[in-house]
Amino acid sequence: MADIAAVTDAEFEAQVLKSDKPVLVDFWAEWCGPCRQVAPILDELNKEHGEKLTFLKMNVDENPVTPSSYRVTGIPTINVYQGGEVVKSIVGAKPKAALLKELDGII
């Protein structure tokens, strides 16, 4: 698996909402310390579970429309979308074990 791809406001519907499999979107920003903490954990999860779940990241500074439409007010926010709906929302940096627990049943 490669690094996690970026998704933009323009691509969000096609890549996330219309995806055949669940999609995890990491809403982040360059200046966000906790976002940098969680990034390597998400890279690991992508390598381990990328066949079951598509991992994408969205820079909230460069793409303000999508985060505001999903009421993303704090970052990092990790949303999991399935069938065009948010099925899980995780706010804040969490260790790998806690993320796996949150994602249980999805991956």
Residues recognised as catalytic: 32, 35
Cα angle 87, 88, 92 (rounded to 5 degrees) comes to: 160
CB 66 within 8 A of CB 12: yes
Rounded-to-integer distance, Cα 20 and Cα 76, Å: 25
Residue 105: strand pairing partners:
none
What is the number of helices (H) and of strands (E) in the chain? 4, 5
Give the separation between CA 96 and CA 38, rounded to whole angstroms. Answer: 8
